[in-house]
Structure 1
Amino acid sequence: MPSPKAAHILCIRFSAMGDVAMTVPVLIALTRAYPKLEITVVSKPFFEPFFLGIERVHFFGAEVKTKFKGVAGLYKLYKALKPEQFTAIADLHNVIRSKVLLSFFRLRGSQTAQIDKGRAEKKALTRETDKVFKPLKTTHQRYADVFGALGFPVQLKGDELLPKRKLNDTIQKAIGQEPYKWLGFAPFAAHEGKKYPLHLIDQVLSSLNKNPLKIILFGGGKEEEQLLNSFAAKYENCINVAGKFSFKEELALISHLDAMLAMDSGNGHMAALFGVPVVTLWGVTHPYLGFAPYGQPEENQITADRKKFPAIPTSAYGNKVPEGYERAMHSIQPETVLQRLSEILD
């Protein structure tokens, strides 16, 4: 076991956005519990803003699909990381890239530990027949377990949050000065089975627009930007910020929200990092898989009707939509969403 006084742990987690965001509360808990501990996170350069301001947490940006591509590239990354400075290696990803990188550290005798993703449990939860429908360990706890295996056990208390970040003049000018509460809305996700239908999004926005709210729309990609622009043009209280700010600026804006409405996607995780109340909508996935935003109460997670769609969750990531489950998201009524938002914002 390394001495906490001299310990420096390398954390490997290359993607995806929500999964990288979920490392933050665990790293905050670690630095609180072990005042001498140094941590370096290696991930995509884009994700660096997640870790700004966390004491004794450093960041190394690595483009593993270009500069550090393939086995030779990963060995180059290994050398660039200066392996002699680390006393232990935490693989929080457990994919081929991270395993190859980890193997180089093992060859030099470094202490290592890998995340147990619970693949067998998740398979039992997502299979169509003989489904074992029970809540699994959260991803946050799975990350914490890796550090426990390295000799640094840590307890997650729910208060491991980032402070609000300063809004620059560009953001403040774009959002405006009205004395309204700020509601973030991120209606899209990576897979169709996790997206709220457009006509239901429209119903939610139509009702929200009647209230003294600033509704801030988040998304990414040209198609999403166009759809969000159409909503912003239709409803006077809506503003679309997709593509308008840097990722660092977007995180600062999110930190000032009064609430966030999101799908099972990265935006919900980002808001939760700052203690923002997050209402999430779940289609063919389910919170039982362990991917709920950090510190959010169960009533904030609104799921599709499992009486109508009993095979939910159909996959861990929402990429599998069985025949007949295309309308799972339709079972989440706008009234249910609006009621929960009202309880939070009022």
Structure 2
Amino acid sequence: MGDVAMTVPVIKAMVRSYPNVKITVVSRAFLKPIFQDIPNVSFYTADVKGRHKGVYGLFKLYKELKKLNIDLVADLHNVLRSKILGIYFKLGGYKIAKIDKGRAEKKALINTEDKIFQQLKTTYERYADVFAELGYAIKLKKKDVLAQLEMTKKATLFIGEDTKKWIGIAPFAAFAGKTYPATQMETVIAKLSETNQYKIILFGGPADKKQLATWEQKHNNVINCAGLFSFEEELMLISNLDVMLSMDSGNAHLAAMFGRKVVTIWGVTHPYAGFYPFGQPQENALLADREKYPLLPTSIYGNKYPEGYENVMETISPQAVFDKIVEVIEK
């Protein structure tokens, strides 16, 4: 989901730079709301668990896409499915460009020996390179974000009518290596709650509902939206936040694609890998202590770390997180 959200500024820049070009985004159905308000952009559902499953299903998808009179193909994913689909297009005589994920330099970044610790090309830049290869050079601008969405009656009732500023908190990630410890996160939530100045909105998936509900019950000014809204409705809430606190995860990119302020917490991953949220100042990233843990980063996705690196996030104090949120939201 984060990878898809990171395409938004690039597609917005394409539409801004080439207003006569039509773009069709092909992805899973639940991601359609991300693109529904971008001019000249349409969405085509890839039913990869149904009629487009497997090699023959992808050939069926290819034949369906051909009917849209597509001229060029931009593979922004470069995984097995998109590679197979790309082969069909190439055999059909289409020009196709694929993202260079920079696997070699990313491996060098996370090596425990002979580490090359340097900023790599961002994912946004890698996406832009694909379009440039197709003949459409673009220059990203900070304004290449989505517009704030209008609140529905359901969402307004959920939030309430006080005038407090809204802080979104997405405290979980796919892997433990980039998830802030729950006890420390609760301390952050408690400190924000005690100010009585902010409305704290918790975001998470079905598996997170129990933990988030516990924090909602224990602390004032805290509401949990997990499981209460559709993805489209959650996007609406995110687009109206004053700031989002997130791990190195999809919610950071969803907030950034709306131009919201984002504070991120990083464990065994690092912004140098190129996945920093779009348009955010570098000082909004809170990083684990590399003096104490010199092998950081040890993973691109947060799923790998050497023995003794299980608790690197504990070096980021709740006070530091609280201070950064207040600094950013009040700036």
Scaled by the length of structure 2, the TM-score of the pair is 0.98
What are structure 1's unaligned runs of at least 5 residues? 1-16
Q: Percent identity?
A: 53
How large is the Cα RMSD of the aligned pairs? 0.9
Asked whether the 8 Å contact 1:39–1:57 carries over to 2, the reply is yes
The aligned runs of 1:251-330 (5 Å cut-off) are 251-330=235-314
| Aligned counterpart for 2:110 among listed residues 98, 123, 126 | 126
Counterparts of 1:313 and 1:49 in 2: how far apart (Å)? 33
Length, aligned pairs only: 329
Q: Secondary structure at the match of 1:210?
A: helix
Shift of residue 45, structure 1, vs aligned partner? 0.5
Counterpart-to-counterpart distance in 2, 1:158 and 1:136: 20
Cα offset, 1:83, TM superposition: 5.0
In the alignment, is residue 237 of structure 1 matched against residue 209 of structure 2? no
Match of 1:37 in 2: 21
Aligned partner of residue 85 in structure 1, secondary structure: coil
* Contact 1:83 1:105 survives alignment (8 Å): no
Q: Is the 8 A contact 1:25 1:160 kept in 2?
A: yes
Q: Following superposition of structure 1 onto structure 2, how do residues 19-30 of structure 1 map, counting pairs within 5 Å? A: 19-30=3-14
CA-CA distance at 1:206 after TM superposition:
1.1
2:205 — aligned with what?
220
Query: Is 1:199 aligned with 2:171?
Result: no
Partner SS state of residue 267, structure 1: helix
Matched, 1:105 2:89: yes
Per-residue CA deviations over 1:144-183 (Å, capped at 9, x if unaligned) read 0000000000001222011111111111101111110000
Does 2:87 align with 1:136? no
CA–CA separation in structure 1 for the residues paired with 2:80 and 2:311: 35
* Distance (whole Å) between structure 2 residues aligned to residue 77 and residue 87 of structure 1: 16
Residue 190 (structure 1) aligns with? 174
Shift of 1:67: 2.3
Instruction: Tell me which moved more, 38-47 or 83-92.
Output: 83-92
Instruction: Tell which deviates more after alignment, 280-289 or 153-162.
Output: 153-162
Q: Counterparts of 1:195 and 1:216 in 2: how far apart (Å)?
A: 18
Greater than 2 Å deviation, 4+ residue runs: none
Q: Which amino acid aligns with 1:74?
A: L
Tell me how far 1:221 sits from its aligned partner.
2.1
**1:239-260 alpha-carbon deviations (Å, 9 max, x no partner):** 0001100000000110000000
* CA distance, structure 2, for counterparts of residue 117 and residue 282 of structure 1: 21
Q: Distance in 2 between matches of 1:121 and 1:282?
A: 20
Distance of 1:65 and 1:265 partners within structure 2: 24
User: Post-superposition shift, 1:82?
Assistant: 2.6
Alpha-carbon contact 1:182-1:257 (below 8 Å) kept: yes
